[in-house]
Amino acid sequence: MTKKAWGGRFGEELNDKALAFSASVDVDQRLAAEDVEGSIAHVRMLAERGIVPLEDALNIERGLTHIAEEIAAGEFEFTDAREDVHMNIEATLTERIGAAGGKLHTARSRNDQVATDMRLFTRRACEHTAASIDAVLAVLASRARTEIHVLMPGYTHLQRAQPVRLSHHLLAWAEMLGRDRGRMLDAAARMNESPLGAAALAGTTFDLDREATAHALGFRRPMRNSLDAVADRDFLVEAVAALANCAVHLSRIGEELVLWSSQEFGFVEMSDAFTTGSSIMPQKKNPDMAELIRGKTGRVVGDLVSLLVMLKGLPLAYNRDMQEDKRPVFDAFDTVDDSLEVLTGCVATARFDGDRMRAALREGFADATELADYLAARGVPFREAHHVVGALVARASAEKKVLSELSLEVLKAAHEAFDQDVYEALDFERAVERRALVGGPARAQVTSQTERLVGELMARGVDTAEVAERFGVKVTGR
């Protein structure tokens, strides 16, 4: 874009460095499809209202459609000289169809144009991420079903605490990600309003039909305030905040997979397809994908911070600073979408080692609470029971035994309320089954939560079995 294009106000060309500094087309060309979509809705409405002759509008629409096809086919040449995606498309249109192309921008500013593009893009991106989350949920549900018999220690402070089911743990991940999905869709719903017609900041004197363009673009309604329409990017903050939350969840899941695949835990072996070797140590099988999911989270959090800091202190309405919103938004979506897809594959194909989990349960005294509850159920004050069992754990530990290997005599010496049936309480399966409250790890609870999830997925058109097969879900366990 030469200075002349801005009109008579400018005599001199823009400095080369300034041009390179301010051009954004390398990044915002990603909005091309949305930009054309918005322009077509706008020009149709202009013709409808008699603001632009129908023939010009039809030529513009044809020209734009052709450009959109070229862009989709990778045949369109964007140039920095035309600054951004909007100017690139419009200038090419005018080159091709002649002066009538200049009518497209009647009663519109790049300010409402870019805000519209970003809302269209982000609304779709949120829906796409929600669908990627659904794929993880389907794989988690599928594995929760088939690994239902596998017991493992639940942890607090990363110390073995109480027995749970592996399926229960997998469903905890599903809960976390399910809320992220909800946040993505909430953000998409709230941003679904049309800035078009706000023009630069104060609307326009032309008698636009803002309802019509809003409707044509699938927006709920026109935005109510023209200043707000071009000035705020809170909808991006909201979407990226939801992504950051999701990334933090993914990072925690990645961390657990890293821990579990260590030799110290040995709870899981990631498939060859999602691990790498070492260039020097032949024995190594590294959980790189899980580590990278964890590692990339920092960038997504950074994207959120970039947006917030970019907005802080900006006076209404539009400021050029806001052009910097795109990189973090694109990066956050790309990173989270990729992480979700990789995680889906990792979880689908991982081999869980139920024997190692059970051994960890035994060695970890994860049944100590059972023993204390046993006494408490027989009238012993819980604090006293806790103390008695603590002493028994110390003793068993010193003798390199597990609790169920202590003789009844030893138990009775610690407290007379102990009886032969105490050994039933020390059975891990029973311990888990006794935790049958809503949300607990008992088989019936976990099964009903799994089936509820499968049903919810089905209701939104996601077939758990199909997704599981597509991602190559394994059945392991034991």
φ, ψ of residue 159 in degrees (nearest 5): -110, 140
Catalytic (active site) residue 249: no
What's the min distance (Å) between Cβ of 9 and ligand ARG?
14
Task: Spell out, one character per residue from 189 to 228, where the chain touches ligand ARG: x when CB under 6 A holds, - when not.
Answer: ----------------------------------------
Contact status, residue 406 vs residue 426, Cβ threshold 8 Å: no
Query: Distance between CA atoms of 123 and 143, rounded to whole angstroms?
Result: 31
For residues 21-40, which are near ligand ARG according to CB under 6 A?
24, 28
What's the min distance (Å) between Cβ of 114 and ligand ARG?
4
What's the min distance (Å) between Cβ of 286 and ligand ARG?
41
Q: Kindly write down the DSSP assignment for every residue of 425-454, as one continuous string.
A: HT-HHHHHHH--STTSSSHHHHHHHHHHHH
Helices (H), 207-287: 210-216, 226-231, 234-260
125 Rama sector, left if φ>0, alpha if ψ -120 to 50, beta otherwise: alpha
Task: Spell out, one character per residue from 314 to 353, where the chain touches ligand ARG: x when CB under 6 A holds, - when not.
Answer: ----x-x-xx------------------------------
Task: Spell out, one character per residue from 280 to 319, where the chain touches ligand ARG: x when CB under 6 A holds, - when not.
Answer: --------------------------------------x-
The residues, ordered by sequence, that sit 6+ positions from 222 with a Cβ below 8 Å of its Cβ are: 193, 194, 196, 197, 210, 211, 213, 214
Kind plus residue range of the DSSP H or E element containing 154: strand 151-156
* Nearest residue (CB) to ligand ARG, 235 versus 318: 318
Among 114, 174, 242, 247, binds ligand ARG (CB under 6 A): 114
Q: Which region among 57-65, 106-114, 145-153, 285-293 touches ligand ARG (by CB under 6 A)?
A: 106-114
What's the min distance (Å) between Cβ of 115 and ligand ARG?
9
Query: Distance between CA atoms of 410 and 228, rounded to whole angstroms?
Result: 75
Q: Which two tokens stand for residue 371?
A: 């023993």
* Nearest residue (CB) to ligand ARG, 225 versus 319: 319
What's the min distance (Å) between Cβ of 28 and ligand ARG?
6
* Nearest residue (CB) to ligand ARG, 121 versus 428: 121
Residue type (1 letter), 143: R
* Nearest residue (CB) to ligand ARG, 45 versus 231: 231
Q: Kindly write down the DSSP assignment for every residue of 340-373, as one continuous string.
A: HHHHHHHHHH-EEBHHHHHHHHHHTTTTHHHHHH
Q: Catalytic residue among 128, 149, 262, 278, which?
A: 278
Among 59, 92, 94, 111, binds ligand ARG (CB under 6 A): 111
What's the min distance (Å) between Cβ of 84 and ligand ARG?
4
Q: Tell how many helices (H) and how many strands (E) occur in the chain.
A: 20, 6
φ, ψ of residue 269 in degrees (nearest 5): -120, 120
Catalytic (active site) residue 157: yes
End-to-end CA distance of the chain: 67
Whether the upstream peptide bond of residue 396 has omega within 30° of 0, thus cis, is no
* Nearest residue (CB) to ligand ARG, 28 versus 56: 28
Q: Which two tokens stand for residue 1?
A: 């874009």
* Nearest residue (CB) to ligand ARG, 320 versus 400: 320
Q: Which two tokens stand for residue 294?
A: 């964890």
Q: Which region among 53-61, 110-118, 338-346, 377-385 touches ligand ARG (by CB under 6 A)?
A: 110-118
- Does 84 interact with ligand ARG (rule: CB under 6 A)? yes
Q: How many CB atoms lie within 10 A of CB 355?
A: 12
Q: Which two tokens stand for residue 151?
A: 């017991």
What's the min distance (Å) between Cβ of 229 and ligand ARG?
13
* Nearest residue (CB) to ligand ARG, 111 versus 226: 111
* Nearest residue (CB) to ligand ARG, 110 versus 169: 110
What's the min distance (Å) between Cβ of 118 and ligand ARG?
8
* Nearest residue (CB) to ligand ARG, 84 versus 353: 84
Task: Please calculate the CA angle 154-157-159 and round it to the nearest 5 degrees.
Answer: 55
Contact status, residue 106 vs residue 52, Cβ threshold 8 Å: yes
| CB-side neighbour CA atoms (13 Å) of 372 | 19
Q: Catalytic residue among 157, 215, 397, 404, which?
A: 157
Q: How many CB atoms lie within 10 A of CB 344?
A: 23
What's the min distance (Å) between Cβ of 318 and ligand ARG?
6
- Does 45 interact with ligand ARG (rule: CB under 6 A)? no
- Does 110 interact with ligand ARG (rule: CB under 6 A)? yes
For residues 236-255, which are near ligand ARG according to CB under 6 A?
none
Residue of 103, 90, 9, 107 lying closest to 57 (CA atoms): 103
Q: Active-site residue numbers?
A: 157, 278
Which residues contact ligand ARG by CB under 6 A?
24, 28, 84, 110-111, 114, 318, 320, 322-323
